[in-house]
Chains A and B, each alone.
Chain A
């Protein structure tokens, strides 16, 4: 009885130690920490949008069309970042828009990771003809430029945010398949796997409990990368009119609306793109930090 307690204590301590070691490496890069701070801020803004945003995103002020941001002449003090062509507060729309971008990122990463890791585990574990066939299918997926395939899928399913997310997730999953498969194959040859097998561990437990946790490093880095990719792709689809539909305050869709005001109202164009860039940049900074912290080969001794 007491033995068990000690073991679990040791495990807990081990986890904490691992975590603090990870944080040491991660916080070594100032960029990664800055990225994390910005990302957490965006998350908080998205969660508390109702409290933070001065107005509702679809609320129109008919006395304030295309008002510039507060530092420019002719600005309306009520609207800090100005208003768009139908008198909606840009700041409020950006704040609510963060919900869509983060939601897109979370959903796309979850779907593509679940799908990709499952396929990758199965192919890497069982190999053989099944593996060959699946990998050829993945090759086909990867020979289409991602945005093109997403566009065509959306053309098939009809333009909407949900369909855009499904399309992007389908396009990203081959990357998880490849990574998981490669990691599983390299783990399969190791002694601890053989030991577990000899001890009578079944296939499913072997895959999920024994092998998978040791493959997580590259997958976590890929998740960060594909999170920012998903936000960019969804915004691009929105921009092309194939993603979220107006009047949704999704950032890419806002840009599509803004295109005709390029010559007259720079802020309508600039603000949504800036929001996309800052969010994506923050996530990529975090991703770089994660990679450096999780990839022992890159660690400076």
Chain B
């Protein structure tokens, strides 16, 4: 197991270097003078320009600049946001819990609905139920979620006025963040109604972000179940006289879940991409909206840092999925 762990971690190093080169190259590839770009709207005297060029290291050879960037990176220094003057890493870390909270809720939503739907569809293969579940799943999978979000806002926020349109919690509540997760913080704060407000803000974004994973998980669960249900050991379990619930729920589902878990892991990139859209629609103060704002404000250090950190998150989550996979299936562990 240790060897497996080490080999997987070693494989990350070239990927990480690649990611750092991409994010390093980003500012250098921008058309125009980097110093002027970094300075933003302010005007610069020629002397100040030359001083900044030297200070930011743009006068040195590229490889030297890259090594300097990497060195700072390893110390957690990702530069300073042009807009807020706050270190990029710090800004990312304050906003990231909002994105994690939203993504976790979306994944849970997708799993809780998707796996039972997929299992039932497989068990009742060919029935109306199966066809309607699979049809719905395909619609979810094909959904332009930015439009889906707008539709839900029209229906639930504007027409029925059940849910708020944007943000994480009503402005009347204020408390210091402890965990960064609004659902937990609002409970800790003990303020009456705070949790309810946070939950109501979370419902629509969760549905919107969870829609595509829901479709993917339901489809994957169904096909994995169908494959397993035809296996000999399932027939044996049935022949032993075990109840259908036991055969399907315990014997078959356990093995069918392996590809489903992989699918869920592979959804991390999709989730973060979806978070960009979902957060923009609902003004959710997470890293997705922050990235969009940074891009449209030309806040290049923030874009650069966000790019690196988000790719880093995807990389680490993929590693964890890989390790979990190796943990559940020894064949993978010993293959290499």
Task: Identify which of A145, A255, A281 contacts B314 (C-beta below 8 A).
Answer: A145
The answer to whether the Cβ of A241 comes within 8 Å of any Cβ in the partner chain is yes
Quote the shortest CB–CB distance from B252 to chain A (angstroms): 19
Report yes or no: B147 in contact with A148, Cβ–Cβ below 8 A: no
- Total A-B pairs, Cβ < 8 A: 124
Distance between Cα atoms of A28 and B56 in the complex (Å)? 64
> Could you say which residues of chain B place their CB within 8 Å of the CB of A156?
26, 29-31
Distance between Cα atoms of A144 and B270 in the complex (Å)? 10
- Select the residue from B139, B270, B311, B318 with max chain A CB neighbours within 10 A: B311
Quote the shortest CB–CB distance from B205 to chain A (angstroms): 16
Task: Identify which of B141, B142, B292, B315 contacts A151 (C-beta below 8 A).
Answer: B292
Report yes or no: B272 in contact with A241, Cβ–Cβ below 8 A: no
Of A57-65, A92-100, A269-277, the one with at least 4 CB within 8 A of chain B: A269-277
Q: In the complex where A148-B310, A152-B307 touch, is A232 in contact with B154 (Cβ < 8 A)?
A: no
Mask, B119-143, CB within 8 Å of A = 1, is 0000000000000000100110111
Distance between Cα atoms of A140 and B277 in the complex (Å)? 23
Report yes or no: B314 in contact with A144, Cβ–Cβ below 8 A: yes
> Could you say which residues of chain A place their CB within 8 Å of the CB of B21?
140
Report yes or no: B19 in contact with A147, Cβ–Cβ below 8 A: no
Mask, B1-31, CB within 8 Å of A = 1, is 0000000000000110011011000100111
Distance between Cα atoms of A212 and B130 in the complex (Å)? 37
Quote the shortest CB–CB distance from A42 to chain B (angstroms): 14
Task: Identify which of B144, B154, B291 contacts A148 (C-beta below 8 A).
Answer: B291
Quote the shortest CB–CB distance from A260 to chain B (angstroms): 11
Report yes or no: A143 in contact with B315, Cβ–Cβ below 8 A: yes
> Could you say which residues of chain B place their CB within 8 Å of the CB of A146?
269, 273
Distance between Cα atoms of A284 and B138 in the complex (Å)? 8
> Could you say which residues of chain A place their CB within 8 Å of the CB of B138?
31, 281, 284-285, 288
The answer to whether the Cβ of B151 comes within 8 Å of any Cβ in the partner chain is yes
Least CB separation from A283: chain B residue: B142
> Could you say which residues of chain B place their CB within 8 Å of the CB of A272?
147
The answer to whether the Cβ of B58 comes within 8 Å of any Cβ in the partner chain is no
Distance between Cα atoms of A144 and B303 in the complex (Å)? 13
Report yes or no: B18 in contact with A145, Cβ–Cβ below 8 A: no
> Could you say which residues of chain B place their CB within 8 Å of the CB of A255?
144, 146-147, 150
Task: Identify which of A152, A236, A240 contacts B144 (C-beta below 8 A).
Answer: A236
Distance between Cα atoms of A32 and B158 in the complex (Å)? 37
- Select the residue from B154, B273, B318 with max chain A CB neighbours within 10 A: B273
Mask, B21-46, CB within 8 Å of A = 1, is 11000100111000000000000000
> Could you say which residues of chain A place their CB within 8 Å of the CB of B270?
145
The answer to whether the Cβ of B295 comes within 8 Å of any Cβ in the partner chain is yes
Report yes or no: B15 in contact with A136, Cβ–Cβ below 8 A: yes
The answer to whether the Cβ of B206 comes within 8 Å of any Cβ in the partner chain is no
Quote the shortest CB–CB distance from A171 to chain B (angstroms): 10
Q: In the complex where A139-B18, A236-B146 touch, is A262 in contact with B314 (Cβ < 8 A)?
A: no
> Could you say which residues of chain A place their CB within 8 Å of the CB of B142?
228, 232, 277, 280-281, 284
> Could you say which residues of chain A place their CB within 8 Å of the CB of B153?
262
Report yes or no: B292 in contact with A144, Cβ–Cβ below 8 A: no
Task: Identify which of A240, A262, A280 contacts B292 (C-beta below 8 A).
Answer: A240
Report yes or no: A145 in contact with B150, Cβ–Cβ below 8 A: no
Mask, A3-33, CB within 8 Å of B = 1, is 0000000000000000000000000000100
Q: In the complex where A140-B18, A148-B310 touch, is A259 in contact with B150 (Cβ < 8 A)?
A: yes
CB contacts under 8 Å to A, within B54-100, are none
Report yes or no: B151 in contact with A270, Cβ–Cβ below 8 A: yes
Task: Identify which of B19, B135, B318 contacts A140 (C-beta below 8 A).
Answer: B19
The answer to whether the Cβ of A177 comes within 8 Å of any Cβ in the partner chain is no
Report yes or no: B277 in contact with A236, Cβ–Cβ below 8 A: yes
Distance between Cα atoms of A222 and B158 in the complex (Å)? 39
The answer to whether the Cβ of B256 comes within 8 Å of any Cβ in the partner chain is no
Task: Identify which of B277, B303, B311 contacts A143 (C-beta below 8 A).
Answer: B311
Report yes or no: A152 in contact with B15, Cβ–Cβ below 8 A: no
The answer to whether the Cβ of B336 comes within 8 Å of any Cβ in the partner chain is no
The answer to whether the Cβ of B296 comes within 8 Å of any Cβ in the partner chain is yes
Distance between Cα atoms of A121 and B44 in the complex (Å)? 51
- Select the residue from A146, A148, A242 with max chain B CB neighbours within 10 A: A148
The answer to whether the Cβ of A2 comes within 8 Å of any Cβ in the partner chain is no
The answer to whether the Cβ of B276 comes within 8 Å of any Cβ in the partner chain is yes
Least CB separation from B145: chain A residue: A236
Report yes or no: B15 in contact with A148, Cβ–Cβ below 8 A: no
The answer to whether the Cβ of B220 comes within 8 Å of any Cβ in the partner chain is no
Report yes or no: B310 in contact with A239, Cβ–Cβ below 8 A: no
CB contacts under 8 Å to B, within A123-157, are 136-137, 139-140, 142-148, 151-152, 155-156
Quote the shortest CB–CB distance from A95 to chain B (angstroms): 18
The answer to whether the Cβ of A235 comes within 8 Å of any Cβ in the partner chain is yes
Quote the shortest CB–CB distance from B11 to chain A (angstroms): 8
> Could you say which residues of chain B place their CB within 8 Å of the CB of A281?
138-139, 142
> Could you say which residues of chain B place their CB within 8 Å of the CB of A269?
147, 150-151, 154
The answer to whether the Cβ of B280 comes within 8 Å of any Cβ in the partner chain is yes
Report yes or no: B276 in contact with A239, Cβ–Cβ below 8 A: no
Report yes or no: A280 in contact with B19, Cβ–Cβ below 8 A: no
17 other contacts beyond A240-B277, A255-B150, A276-B147, with CB at 8 A cut-off?
A140-B15, A140-B18, A143-B19, A143-B269, A145-B310, A145-B314, A151-B292, A152-B307, A235-B144, A236-B277, A239-B147, A239-B277, A255-B144, A266-B154, A273-B150, A277-B143, A277-B144
Residues of chain A having any CB pair with chain B under 8 Å: 31, 136-137, 139-140, 142-148, 151-152, 155-156, 228, 232, 235-236, 239-242, 252, 255, 258-259, 262-263, 266, 269-270, 272-273, 276-277, 280-281, 284-285, 288
7 contacts between A and B (CB under 8 A): A143-B315, A236-B146, A242-B295, A258-B150, A273-B147, A277-B139, A280-B142
3 closest A-B pairs by beta carbon, nearest first, are A273-B147, A140-B18, A147-B273
